[in-house]
Structure 1
Amino acid sequence: MMTRILKIHPADNVLVALQNLAKGETVVHDEAQYVLLDDINAKHKFFMQDMNIGDPIFMYGVLVGKAQYFIPKGSLMNTDNTKHASEPFEFKPYHFEWKAPDVSKYKDRTFNGYHRADGRVGTANYWLFIPTVFCENRNLDVIREALHNELGYAVTEKYKSYTHQLVEAYKHGEILAEANQMSIGQSEHNTDRVFKNVDGIKFLNHQGGCGGTRQDAAVLSKLLAAYADHPNVAGVTVLSLGCQNLQVNDFMIDLKHRSPNFDKPLYIFEQQQAQSEEQLIKEAIRKTFIGLTEVNKIKRQPAPLSKLVVGVKCGGSDGFSGISANPAVGYTSDLVVALGGTVLLAEFPELCGAEQQIIDRTKDEGAARKFIELMTAYGNAALNVGSGFHMNPSPGNIKDGLITDAIKSTGAAKKGGTSPVEDVLDYTEPATKIGLNLVCTPGNDVEATTGKAASGATLILFTTGLGTPTGNPICPTIKVATNNALAKRMSDIIDINCGPVIEGEKTIEEMGEDILEYCIKAASGEVIPKAVLLNQDDFIPWKRGVSL
């Protein structure tokens, strides 16, 4: 029988509803009875004791809020009676001890990846188009349509067919209101690609490179260089206008700084030096096609699981995120670290309230102090524009039980597992140390996934309770649902369902092992995550302004 309520940590003074509970109902936990004074929907919390104004509220064993007035025992936690609060944080000498999970069963396991000259191993083999300025976006769109359609990477055929049916129905005077009954195909991975060993041709359309500040262009240059250097990228075509802030020479300096021995095919085209737009596009397509014939010779080969670099992210979070999917992914993270792999945990606004736990796990004092400086500067920047980390939860988060940022953040931090923090990276800095790394990014789904890929993630585990289609152009993004209802309702975007944890059918550890098995298959190209099938290629550079 499924447990109806949950106390996450012994120090907590709220209980979580795992099912809808009715006002007036009596529920029991640890032999204590609670008469509910409100309807408590699944994912929401109620108080275990009478609360007076200013009383601290604890979840996950840490301070997550304070009572705003007297709240009787059995009352629903909501945004009126509870406001965000979190403990201050500081550096403390490292005394953390970690008990790694048993990974003996994975000792001889491998995945089939793309080996690069620098020793890194990609989980995919992409050709990448990079514009140095937004003025080239239209040219990229033209090239994308030409290459995707002819080389077998397009995923829009079913919608073209559906639109064609609508046109025909309109011409014949049929009732378009009944068009939803027309058949439409399913998204499938195209096995008729011209280049069998090239997993995709990707395009980094963006709105930067000119205007804004020179600092924006400098950060964008480092970001684009990081993507060109990524182990999932086999070759690069760069399109430039010529007069923009982000000059090709700046990009090349950043690329050589990041990868002094960069040896991938790299073709650069500048429109203001071209005879015409047509000549520019035709030559870019021709040279890229030649490059594709070369990188198509690269084949997947076995690699140890220590070569995995897994980014962990949550978005469209709900009140179950910190109970099912995030802890399960956290256990996967611990398995990857124990196997000698690398895990990237980002979203600094969603570490608010969990800072001290993270600092206490950071091995190097310099890294710990860097984390404190980045968090403090980020938080102050938000406050200076009249916002703050406390304003991070979205309306969807709140509706589904994440009442304060500290509740959301402490549950979000579970994705990083329990291993020591090896390093702290600013935006676009590459991960060079194996183990758990922190990456400074916003909480915004796409800005965060964009930053994780820049730091070297070759797979991203993305947990969600409400559902989001977010993907990344070069880093396969695996969607992990927190609950059965979401996994069923949005099955076209969800890859893994952690609902069995809520239902009591699987443990966190069992679910974490299932997720690792999926990662191994995805890294080998044996399964294709839904975001990849849909060409969900989301890319938003962070301008280092305030973004939560």
Structure 2
Amino acid sequence: MKKLIKVHPDDNVAIALTDLAKGDKIIFEGETVVPLSDVKAKHKISLGDLESGSKIIMYGVLVGKTNIKLPKGALLTIDNVKHLSSKTTEKTTSFNWSPPDVSQWENRIFMGYHREDGQVGTENIWLFFPLVFCENKNIERLKEVFEKELCVEQVSEQRQLLRGLLGGDSEIQEKQPKKSIFENIKVKFITHQGGCGGIRQDSELLAKLLAGYVNNGNVAGATVLSLGCQNLQINVFKEALYKVNPNIKKPVLIYEQQQMGTVDNMLNTVIKDSFLAIKEANKVERKPAPLSKIKLGLECGGSDGFSGISANPTLGHASDVIAALGGSPILSEFPELCGVEQELVNRCVDNEKAEKFLRLMQSYEQSAVDAGSGFDMNPSPGNIKDGLITDAMKSAGAAKKGGTSPITDVLDYTEFVLKPGLNLLCTPGNDVESTTGMVGSGANLVVFTTGLGTPTGNPIAPVVKISSNTILAEKMPDIIDVDTGPVIRGEKSIQEMGEELLEYLIKVASGELVAKADKLGQDDFIPWKRGVSL
């Protein structure tokens, strides 16, 4: 196995593929590189002597600068390297794309739920949610009723363990799979802390996000609870819903507590009406659909030094195949695109899209600066510990999720994906906020790359986890769906791994496999309040 890898010919640093000992003599690209200290796998070392203030190049782009003199073989750390990224103002070159060979995928299908507006869902969900946090308790009561009565309860290993400790059955019985009374419909629930208080714009943005969830191809219909006096009024939600889809025909049941009297009176009505609607939605069955109907959310979290050379490029290849077939990959997390703006701008299909992307990026970054922060503060302690020491370094690897295809559209938060091809969507880099936003913009399937392990999921869209390294996959098998560690070991190419991932996604989209996040019940939902959230 190789000990070092240089991602791009122009790079002046290399990534350690395995732990390196101080004084090791490593032959790399015909030259001897000697680590000047012990170097853990995933971290970077200098391939030449660098003066103080020298630019650090990785993935062929500027990712930082030295603040002291670094000799050849020196380990890069947060103490000797600072964030630095290139400034981008406009498109600088035309873009020509050589799409991957998709002949083997052109006639492939997945089994999905067809909607009247032409969207196809990978799930068939009846969704309950409130317009305001005051209704969270009622949503939780409905969840308890519907989940207990519509599903055969599965007693968790932890509950069985506690029973034993309390003096009951000390042996943990084999768990039975959770079975729903209805075969073709799932019932899911969202709660949140918004809808009133704060500023009106927060409620308006939440209305758009919730409208996007109802409009998502994975949703068959919804039950909505309103208190009555909150900022997010029913008419505000309806306006947002009809704006995202003027011809929407899905059943949406809306109830206002202050008009209905007692809690019991309202909940009894909600349960009777919703049960009949769910029973009707259960009649929809999976039917064949082309892969062009996939709207694929591209997410990363708990990233490590291998994410940008294994998991993210693997997802990038799958993204390119989906784009070439007429599907819609969605790349978000704008703070984690800092430093690669020029490449993305040049990939935009026209100047209008390029200008919108730069405007959104600059506005977002300025809001962070105004709050006393900045994109340079984005890498988390976990990122840094595993070799991602600047935001630009993290971004250069994170952007690989978006492959190499043209960018056909640029969307602000809550704008819905309508165009085939790669879409850029403005969201925070925060895992749940970003995933929440992509699904609200139409993603019917999400792939989440991770190097450290993250259990994030979503209420209405499957979230498939892929690991950058095999150690993680073996340590957290209940979270990881696909392991891209073979890329690090040189056993599989990015293309081979990407095709393996795509085969897995087709099975998940068809309901043949259940994503690990769904098995764990990870129904995470966090709206972005549009303040500073990195």
Do the two structures share a fold, i.e. TM-score over 0.5? yes
> What's 1:390 paired with?
376
Contact 2:160 2:172 in 1 (8 A): no
> What's 2:84 paired with?
85
Contact 1:129 1:203 in 2 (8 A): yes
> What's 2:108 paired with?
109
Q: Determine helix, strand or coil for the equivalent of 1:344.
A: strand
> What's 2:519 paired with?
533
Matched, 1:353 2:342: no
Q: Distance in 2 between matches of 1:158 and 1:53?
A: 56
Q: Distance in 2 between matches of 1:422 and 1:304?
A: 20
Matched, 1:505 2:494: no
Q: Determine helix, strand or coil for the equivalent of 1:460.
A: strand
- Return the offset for 1:546: 0.6
Q: Distance in 1 between matches of 2:20 and 2:257?
A: 63
User: Which amino acid letter does the alignment assign opposite residue 182 of structure 2?
Assistant: F
Q: Residues 174-193 of structure 1: matches in 2 within 5 Å?
A: 183=172, 190=178, 192-193=179-180
> What's 2:127 paired with?
128
- Return the offset for 1:167: 2.1
Residue 448 (structure 1) aligned to one of 411, 434, 438: 434
- Return the offset for 1:94: 5.2
Q: Residues 77-226 of structure 1: matches in 2 within 5 Å?
A: 77-92=76-91, 95-152=94-151, 157-168=156-167, 183=172, 190=178, 192-198=179-185, 200-226=186-212
Q: Determine helix, strand or coil for the equivalent of 2:433.
A: helix
- Residue by residue over 1:86-132, the C-alpha shift from the partner in whole angstroms, topping out at 9 and shown as x without a partner, is 11012125510000000111121110000000011000000101100
> What's 1:242 paired with?
228
Q: Residues 369-448 of structure 1: matches in 2 within 5 Å?
A: 369-448=355-434
Q: Distance in 1 between matches of 2:205 and 2:218?
A: 21
Q: Determine helix, strand or coil for the equivalent of 2:110.
A: strand
- Return the offset for 1:263: 1.3
User: Which amino acid letter does the alignment assign opposite residue 14 of structure 1?
Assistant: V
Q: Distance in 2 between matches of 1:291 and 1:204?
A: 18
Residue 327 (structure 1) aligned to one of 309, 313, 327: 313
User: Which amino acid letter does the alignment assign opposite residue 2 of structure 2?
Assistant: T
Q: Distance in 2 between matches of 1:189 and 1:503?
A: 36
> What's 1:176 paired with?
none
User: Which amino acid letter does the alignment assign opposite residue 240 of structure 2?
Assistant: D
User: Which amino acid letter does the alignment assign opposite residue 225 of structure 1?
Assistant: A
Contact 1:101 1:334 in 2 (8 A): yes
Contact 1:63 1:87 in 2 (8 A): yes
Contact 1:28 1:34 in 2 (8 A): yes
User: Which amino acid letter does the alignment assign opposite residue 12 of structure 1?
Assistant: D
> What's 1:175 paired with?
none
> What's 2:71 paired with?
72
User: Which amino acid letter does the alignment assign opposite residue 534 of structure 1?
Assistant: L
Q: Distance in 2 between matches of 1:151 and 1:372?
A: 48
Q: Distance in 2 between matches of 1:138 and 1:167?
A: 30
- Return the offset for 1:164: 2.2
User: Which amino acid letter does the alignment assign opposite residue 78 of structure 1?
Assistant: T
Q: Distance in 2 between matches of 1:69 and 1:375?
A: 30
User: Which amino acid letter does the alignment assign opposite residue 472 of structure 1?
Assistant: N
Contact 2:326 2:420 in 1 (8 A): yes
- Return the offset for 1:10: 0.7
User: Which amino acid letter does the alignment assign opposite residue 17 of structure 1?
Assistant: A
TM normalised by structure 2 equals 0.98
Q: Residues 2-41 of structure 1: matches in 2 within 5 Å?
A: 2-41=1-40
- Return the offset for 1:162: 2.9
- Residue by residue over 1:56-111, the C-alpha shift from the partner in whole angstroms, topping out at 9 and shown as x without a partner, is 01100111010011112111100000000011012125510000000111121110
- Residue by residue over 1:327-380, the C-alpha shift from the partner in whole angstroms, topping out at 9 and shown as x without a partner, is 000000001011111100000000001100000100121111000000000011
Q: Distance in 2 between matches of 1:400 and 1:154?
A: 40
Q: Distance in 1 between matches of 2:424 and 2:296?
A: 12
Shifted more, 95-104 versus 154-163: the winner is: 154-163
Q: Determine helix, strand or coil for the equivalent of 1:65.
A: strand
Q: Distance in 2 between matches of 1:439 and 1:296?
A: 32
Q: Determine helix, strand or coil for the equivalent of 1:224.
A: helix
Q: Distance in 2 between matches of 1:136 and 1:152?
A: 24
Measured at CA, do residues 448 and 154 of structure 1 come closer, stay the same or move farther in structure 2, by a change above 3 Å? farther
- Return the offset for 1:159: 3.5
Q: Determine helix, strand or coil for the equivalent of 1:168.
A: coil
- Residue by residue over 1:275-317, the C-alpha shift from the partner in whole angstroms, topping out at 9 and shown as x without a partner, is 3111212221221111111000000000011111101010000
Q: Distance in 1 between matches of 2:173 and 2:399?
A: 40
Q: Determine helix, strand or coil for the equivalent of 2:166.
A: helix
Q: Residues 228-239 of structure 1: matches in 2 within 5 Å?
A: 228-239=214-225
> What's 1:296 paired with?
282
- Return the offset for 1:146: 1.2
Contact 2:157 2:172 in 1 (8 A): no
Residue 464 (structure 1) aligned to one of 450, 472, 494: 450
- Residue by residue over 1:229-283, the C-alpha shift from the partner in whole angstroms, topping out at 9 and shown as x without a partner, is 1110001000111111101111011111111122112111111122311121222
Measured at CA, do residues 409 and 255 of structure 1 come closer, stay the same or move farther in structure 2, by a change above 3 Å? same
Q: Distance in 2 between matches of 1:74 and 1:427?
A: 43
User: Which amino acid letter does the alignment assign opposite residue 98 of structure 1?
Assistant: W
Q: Residues 464-483 of structure 1: matches in 2 within 5 Å?
A: 464-483=450-469
Q: Determine helix, strand or coil for the equivalent of 2:167.
A: helix
- Return the offset for 1:163: 2.8
User: Which amino acid letter does the alignment assign opposite residue 197 of structure 1?
Assistant: N
Contact 2:336 2:399 in 1 (8 A): yes
> What's 2:44 paired with?
45
Contact 2:457 2:517 in 1 (8 A): yes
Contact 1:364 1:423 in 2 (8 A): no
Runs of 4+ with deviation above 6 angstroms: none
Q: Determine helix, strand or coil for the equivalent of 1:286.
A: helix
Q: Determine helix, strand or coil for the equivalent of 2:56.
A: strand
Residue 246 (structure 2) aligned to one of 256, 260, 264: 260
Q: Distance in 2 between matches of 1:294 and 1:505?
A: 49
- Return the offset for 1:161: 2.6
Q: What is the aligned residue count?
A: 534
TM normalised by structure 1 equals 0.95
Contact 1:5 1:15 in 2 (8 A): yes
Q: Determine helix, strand or coil for the equivalent of 1:424.
A: strand
Q: Determine helix, strand or coil for the equivalent of 2:104.
A: helix
Q: Distance in 2 between matches of 1:303 and 1:487?
A: 31
Contact 1:93 1:365 in 2 (8 A): no
Contact 2:408 2:421 in 1 (8 A): yes
Identity of aligned residues (%): 55
